[in-house]
Structure 1
């Protein structure tokens, strides 16, 4: 019988990328034990042995009674007022890692419509980077299995249908944030003229996890480190570098975003008020 991980990897790879991938490949590529199905996407660029090691790069999550945990609690309390508002709704969209939603989320910052039809290289690049960045967090996730803030405080999140999964998935570090920051760094390399906008969007993508009540601030901070470490590793991968060049070429004829980017800018500014 196929393992549950292999079944999910096969299903999602076919559904999202149209590619067939053997069970043996799926099992080898997964590496660390993964409990969150979000990260069974297109095959990544890196082998499991090439992923950055969070146990080396990050320390343990904040201890009970520590100043670091007090900072986490303060960060959570600071965004409670955003619940139910437009920024909360954007955090819900950021929480959805099923493509094409992530492509839509970064289109305004990119200044181009990122889609499978119009920018297939760029779209595929995002899918594959997500897999590598997401998987990079699981060695340390499984080591500490940190409880998420919505569980500690007996509350909900911006994505109620995912809460059963999140209860079983370690909070530290944030895989969503690792993916979002890896996207921001990668897309900024594809389109340097939009680097500031893309990096800003990558930061807000991570903060969406705090707003969503799904992660602590220190989870997000650790996720950014893992996302950056993943991109550093990817720069030794010839296939990744070739896809960066293909995406740059593709961007030359890309159309403008279809979303109302002025509205997105206004929503993101809500957190700063």
Structure 2
């Protein structure tokens, strides 16, 4: 497979040993093999800022923000955060409509599972590089946990990364829903603060990382071919149209 490097092999090992930390359902354990070419981990480390230093002014602002959001959270927001904890591309049925489901879009489901696999390898590598402790663990009694507690580290947010990446790809497949798709991705990311799993700076890094991964994938001709095959199979005359 093109683009496979020793660093990719290292990232694969990380992903397999920390699969529960990336927010995917148990059935979505990452493959040990990247599906498409992505830059080495160092590329993403150079592009992303480091997380705030523990106890710094920005770190304290993160904690203040998380506590304020949880204190004002409505029952509806809590219910939404518990749903989006199990993030897949079909979480975006909120934007795309009920017809957007695995039954109607089996090839889309398979394609985005491959996308998630490659993204998770990068996300896990970065989490293990930065080792930022999740807010509910760093501040027990101050930040509550409202979803199943995840292992692994906090920075960057995997949900924020994947939701941004999914949103950009879905907008390629259906530009008419770009605004609704983007709003859905933002809600998925914000849910992670409400749930007690992440800080605002984790989300900001995740959004940037999602865009970086999207841009990298779009430079890969084999990825372009896969995306176009899905478009022709299920989006040219899709059940959503």
TM-score (norm 1): 0.71
1:145-171 CA distance string (max 9 Å, x none): 1111111221542223xx2x42xx111
How many Å apart are 1:225 and its aligned residue? Answer: 1.2
1:170 aligns with 2:153: yes
- Distance in 1 separating the partners of 2:134 and 2:239: 40
How many Å apart are 1:122 and its aligned residue? Answer: 1.7
Which residue, 126, 131, 145 being the options, matches 2:112? 126
Q: 1:158 to 1:215 in 2, by over 3 A?
A: same
Which residue, 8, 12, 26 being the options, matches 1:31? 12
Q: How many residues align?
A: 222
Gaps of 5+ in 1: 1-26, 258-273
The answer to whether the Cα contact below 8 Å between 1:45 and 1:239 also exists between their aligned partners in 2 is no
1:96 aligns with 2:96: no
Q: What does residue 136 of structure 1 align with?
A: 122
Q: What does residue 13 of structure 1 align with?
A: none
Q: Which moved more, 1:118-127 or 1:41-50?
A: 41-50
Q: What does residue 17 of structure 1 align with?
A: none
Q: What does residue 70 of structure 1 align with?
A: 60
The answer to whether the Cα contact below 8 Å between 1:135 and 1:175 also exists between their aligned partners in 2 is no
Q: What does residue 255 of structure 1 align with?
A: 239
Q: 1:191 to 1:213 in 2, by over 3 A?
A: same
Secondary structure in 2 matching 1:53: helix
How many Å apart are 1:129 and its aligned residue? Answer: 1.6
Q: 1:103 to 1:31 in 2, by over 3 A?
A: closer
The answer to whether the Cα contact below 8 Å between 2:94 and 2:184 also exists between their aligned partners in 1 is no
How many Å apart are 1:210 and its aligned residue? Answer: 0.7
The answer to whether the Cα contact below 8 Å between 1:29 and 1:48 also exists between their aligned partners in 2 is no
Gaps of 5+ in 2: 1-7
1:231 aligns with 2:214: yes
TM-score (norm 2): 0.80
Q: What does residue 87 of structure 1 align with?
A: 77
The answer to whether the Cα contact below 8 Å between 1:210 and 1:217 also exists between their aligned partners in 2 is yes
Q: What does residue 9 of structure 1 align with?
A: none
The answer to whether the Cα contact below 8 Å between 1:45 and 1:234 also exists between their aligned partners in 2 is no
Q: Which moved more, 1:44-53 or 1:141-150?
A: 44-53
Q: What does residue 145 of structure 1 align with?
A: 131
Q: Looking at both structures, which has the greater relative contact order when contacts are Cα pairs under 8 Å and sequence separation is at least 6?
A: 2
1:243 aligns with 2:226: yes
How many Å apart are 1:90 and its aligned residue? Answer: 1.2
